[in-house]
Each structure stands twice: as C-alpha cells, then as structure tokens.
C-alpha cells in the first residue's frame, strides 16, 4: 500500500539532530565528556549513572544495544560518539550507528554554556 516515506523523514530528522549535536559539542570546545576516568583508568560511577543511554552499535555488531555515552567529540570535522554497553563494563568503543531519534538524548544531557544556550536549527521544509 502506498504511504509516506517515513525512512526519508527519519533520515532528515537524524541529520538535523546530528547538526545540533555538533553545535552543542562545539560550544564546549569540540568535546564533551560525560563519564571521566580516574588515574587508575576506572570510570566515575556517579557520572555513569547520569550519562545518556542510547541504542547504538559499533562497526563489529549486527544490531543495536543500549550504550552509556562516555564522550562526544568533533575529530577531523567528523562527529565521534564513544561509549560502552550498559550490560558490560569495559573500555569505551566508537559508536558507528545510532538508532533513529537517539541523538537527542545526548543533546538533552549537554549543559548550556555562557555563550550558547540553544542549538536549535530551523527546519527546512
């Protein structure tokens, strides 16, 4: 049956969220860390409990699972998202695919700066 191309709409929304996330990261100097490591290489438990959780995957995974987002950065003009699985506790990995609508969870958890309080980009119809 004919219907709206929802996949195209999701892709458009994901691109807008990606652009707004990049703006939020740039407002913090190009990187925002949600979960810091101490000198022993252990992650801060309190920060872990307050970090965003998104459905994502690494390049080696067949499907999505829940990840704590450790940090986000702009590296070589490219958005990089790093995290570790919610059910496991090991070193961070680069997240190469994020479920539709989950980038906003990251933006929600990045605080305003003195100079940037809003990263909304007007949608082009």
33, 61 Cβ separation under 8 angstroms? no
Extended beta strands in 1-125, E state: 31-33, 53-57, 65-75, 78-85, 93-94, 97-98
Q: What is the pLDDT of residues 108-122, one digit of tens each?
A: 999 999 999 999 988
In sequence order, which residues have a C-beta less than 8 Å from that of residue 32 and are 6 or more positions away?
Answer: 24, 25, 71, 72, 73, 110
Q: Are 51 and 35 spatial neighbours (Cβ–Cβ below 8 Å)?
A: yes
- pLDDT, tens digit (0-9, with 9 covering 90-100), for 49-90: 899 999 999 999 999 999 999 999 999 989 999 999 998 767
């Amino acid at each position: 049956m004919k219907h709206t191309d929802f996949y195209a709409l999701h892709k458009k929304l994901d691109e807008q969220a990606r652009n707004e996330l990049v703006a939020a990261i740039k407002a913090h100097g190009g990187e925002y860390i949600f979960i810091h490591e101490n000198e022993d290489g252990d992650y801060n438990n309190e920060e872990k409990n307050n970090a965003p959780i998104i459905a994502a995957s690494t390049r080696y995974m067949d499907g999505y699972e829940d990840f704590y987002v450790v940090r986000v950065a702009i590296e070589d003009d490219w958005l990089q998202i790093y995290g570790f699985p919610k059910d496991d506790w090991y070193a961070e990995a680069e997240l190469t695919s994020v479920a539709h609508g989950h980038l906003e969870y990251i933006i929600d958890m990045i605080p305003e700066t003195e100079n940037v309080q809003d990263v909304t980009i007007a949608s082009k119809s």
